[in-house]
Amino acid sequence: MTHPESELTQLEHIPTRIFGNADAACMTVADAITHLIESRNADGKPAVLGLATGSTPVRLYRELIRRHKEDGLSFANVITFNLDEYFGLPGDHPESYRKFMQDQLFDHVDLKPENTHVPDGMVHREDVFASCQAYEEAIEAAGGIDIQILGIGRTGHIGFNEPGSAPDSLTRLVTLDSLTRRDAARDFLGEENVPRHAITMGVGTILAARQVFLLAWGEGKATIMAKTVEGPQTEAIPATFLQRHEGCSFCIDESAASQLTRIRLPWLVGRIEWTPEVTRQAVLWLAQKVDKPLLRLVDEDYTENGMADLLVEQGSAYDLNIHLFNITQHTITGWPGGKPNADDSNRPERATPYPKRSLILSPEPLDDVYCLGGTINRLKKHGNEVSIAYQTSGNLAVPDVEVRRAIELMIELGEERSGQEDLDYVKTVEAQLDAKGDFGADSTEIRQLKGLIRRSEARSSARTLGLETDALHFLDLPFYEEGRYRRFVAGERDTARMRELLETIRPHQIFATGYGNDPLSVPALSFEVLRAALAACAGSDWIKDCNIWLYKGPAQEWEAHEIDMAVPLSPSELENKIQGIYQHQTQRSQSPISGDKRVNNTWDLAREINRTTAELYDAIGLAEYEAMECLKKFTFDQ
Ligand code: PGA
């Protein structure tokens, strides 16, 4: 039974198109830009584009570059204005937005340099006002912006218009929100290096554009997306002011759309078909909404929450309750590798073969123990052949201070033992480190050393979980080794390396993550490499007998209805996992963010996430455990 689109989207104040993936959305926006350029060319007028930086528009820019190179799309008659720039960064700084635009677009198309405008981050403080005014005037002189491209920050910022920005604000100097600075910390190798101020077009400047496309990918944007599209207009979420713009539309992927009411709670906005999946989603939501155990839900709870037709279809609350209780109960297992010699008809994983070859894929060292430390420990204790493959080296996430410490140690050791050749090598690396400055790119040697530091941490962590170090595989996928954040491109060499590992291990179960993440992130690319490698293994026998279990990734967890396997952790198992996380010493200053939760370090957040899941199971009337790790079963036609 379907229902009109307008009914489903009744709570949405901005036209929002949901695409299967980011590339499909980018095609649509690239079409609009192409059309604009061509029609302006026909009129002999320039096309004026408002451009954004960040991970979000990178795929759009790649498509525009492709159209330029392959289809002859010319930018000779295009004028561009970028949204913002960090205050205090010169245009050639690796993290400046001017540099970003040169690398990601300008240097690859026939835009005239004088037609590209990015706010000047180096303007003197006393000249900022005049410079901002001049920026506004330049936009006006160009005829105003025809198409403005936007990303959205998790604060709800557009450009760097942080919460508190007025709808009529213009180009100006602003202070960055602490969440925004945390999100940029990785690019700047530490939050302390992220500039505190920026120059940004105002909300009013953006609203003056004739057409606006806001893009968003990945579940990290899902919460702010729902608030922006469905919530009231408020300075607390500047993006909500886009609701005022007639020519604004959002082009987002399914993950970024996942918190919209039409996806998350579709029964509240229309008549829907009660498939087993939606029923599960709805009943588990209901128990949490009315704060009752499943078995205590009554007919009124259903009827008062948009689920009266489900009751009619399914009989009574009692039947539904017990059905969902059983389904949820059967997700709990202390045997993530399957329980040998046990009836497995209601267990998440099959009993045979036993022992299993279990392969844990970790996009970077730390993801494994962080998300699955308890599960890995149990798999091993139960006698399975557990391997962990670290897909990338993770060397970009090692601060210089860590590598300097390692270098000093090696030099001291070399001097004491007078191994002159080794010493020369290490001193060369030290000189490279001295020369590179705060944001210079790491040399191959520095990256290698940083990668080795992470390997040693991974080994130490795996030992805590009961694994021998020969169970570890370091794939060092080339997309990462040869790339930088926001600039990764995975290819055939990555697939080949992944495939080789799969064919060597021939796993019965694979634990992976990255599905639904921002497509340019390390986990998402690692997942795409897995997808391609599995496709390449399609002819192999083992693959027919291989289950794929998805873990969600740091700082988040599956929602109740998505969990197909919940692995309980006792208090001591949880503490053992935390010990494993501690071993990743170079990552200790990372301060991950999870939704509204702000936690100061990785281990506290891991503990909190695993405990929260256990509390959820308890609250809906299942057994009360200390902590739980969760997995979702996956098949690749998804
Ligand atoms: P992102 O940033 O594209 O890197 O996610 C978007 C923004 O902050 O506007």
| pLDDT tens, residue by residue, 144-171 | 999 999 999 999 999 999 999 999 999 9
pLDDT of residue 439: 73
With a cut of 50, say whether residue 2 has pLDDT above it: no
pLDDT tier at 594, thresholds 50, 70, 90:
low
Ligand 1 pocket test target in 100, 149, 150, 152 with most atoms within 8 Å of CB: 152
Distance 348 CA to ligand 1 centre (A): 37
CA distance 137 to 142: 9
If you take atom 4 of ligand 1, which residue's CA is the nearest one?
A: 54
Q: How far is the CA of 391 from the centre of ligand 1 (A)?
A: 25
Contact 216, 151 (CB under 8 A): yes
Which residue, among 307, 83, 336, has the nearest Cα to 206 in the 3D structure?
83
What is the chain's Cα-based Rg?
A: 26
Protein residue with its CA nearest to atom 2 in ligand 1? 54
Q: pLDDT at position 8, please? A: 87
**Residue of 29, 55, 212 to test ligand 1 pocket, by largest number of atoms within 8 Å of CB:** 55
Q: Give the pocket of ligand 1 (CB within 6 Å).
A: 54-56, 151-153
- Residue of the CA atom closest to atom 8 of ligand 1: 153
Confidence of residue 1 (pLDDT cuts 50, 70, 90): very low
**Of the candidate ranges 26-35, 401-410, 419-428, the one whose mean pLDDT is the lowest:** 419-428
Atom of ligand 1 nearest to the CA of 217: 5
Contact criterion met (CB below 8 Å) for 533 and 71: no
Ligand 1 centroid–CA 95 distance in Å is 14
What is the Å distance from ligand 1's center to 158 Cα? 9
**Model pLDDT, residue 556:** 84
Catalytic-labelled residue, pool 136, 162, 219, 230: 162
Residue 55 Cα to ligand 1 middle (Å) = 6
The alpha carbon torsion through 81, 85, 91, 96 (nearest 10 deg) reads: -120
Q: For residue range 217-273, what is the model confidence (pLDDT) as tens digits?
A: 999 999 999 999 999 999 999 999 999 999 999 999 999 999 999 999 999 998 889
The neighbour count for residue 275, using CB atoms within 10 Å, is: 9
Ligand 1 atom at minimum distance from 153 CA: 8
Write the pLDDT tens digit of every residue in 62-119.
999 999 999 999 999 999 999 999 999 999 998 999 999 999 999 999 999 999 999 9
Closest residue to atom 7 of ligand 1, CA basis: 153
| Interval 518-538: pLDDT, tens | 999 999 999 999 999 999 999
The share of the chain scoring above pLDDT 70, in percent, equals 97
Which ligand 1 atom lies nearest to the CA of residue 159? 9
**Mean pLDDT computed over 277-288:** 97
Q: Kindly give the distance from the C-alpha atom of residue 52 to the centroid of ligand 1, in angstroms, as a whole number.
A: 8
| Mean pLDDT, rounded, for 429-455 | 90
Q: What is the pLDDT of residues 547-571, one digit of tens each?
A: 999 999 887 899 999 999 999 999 9
Q: What angle do CA 220, 223, 224 make, to 5 degrees?
A: 95
Q: Which residue has the tokens 């209780």?
A: 325
Kindly report the number of other CB atoms within 10 A of residue 444's CB atom: 11
DSSP 41-109: HHHT--EEEEE--SSTTHHHHHHHHHHHHHH----TTEEEEESEEETT--TTSTTSHHHHHHHHTGGGS
Distance CA 57, CA 637 (A): 27
C-beta of residue 510 within 8 angstroms of C-beta of residue 546? yes
User: What's residue 593's pLDDT?
Assistant: 55
> Residue 185: what pLDDT?
85
Confidence category of residue 588, pLDDT binned at 50, 70, 90: confident
Nearest to 629 by CA among 336, 209, 296: 336
Index of the ligand 1 atom closest to the CA of residue 150: 9
Angle among Cα 110, 111, 114 to the nearest 5 degrees reads 140
C-alpha 208: how far from its chain's center? 31
Residue 504 has pLDDT above 60, yes or no: yes
pTM for the model: 0.94
C-alpha pair distances (Å), 193 with each of 163, 190, 310, 401, 552: 22, 6, 54, 14, 29
For residue 57, what pLDDT is reported? 97
Given this model, what pLDDT does residue 638 score? 47
Q: How far is the CA of 81 from the centre of ligand 1 (A)?
A: 17
CB contact at 8 A, 566 and 613: yes
What's the whole-number mean pLDDT along residues 357-361? 98
Contact 386, 601 (CB under 8 A): no
pLDDT value, residue 37 = 98
363-402 pLDDT tens trace: 999 999 999 999 999 999 999 999 999 999 999 999 889 9
Q: In this predicted structure, what is the pLDDT of residue 637?
A: 65
User: Is-catalytic flag, 162?
Assistant: yes
> Which long-range contacts (C-beta less than 8 Å, at least 24 apart) are formed by 540-547?
540/503, 540/506, 542/506, 542/507, 542/508, 545/353, 545/508, 546/507, 546/508, 546/509, 546/510, 547/349, 547/350, 547/508, 547/509, 547/510, 547/633
Q: What's the CA-to-centroid distance between 590 and ligand 1, angstroms?
A: 19
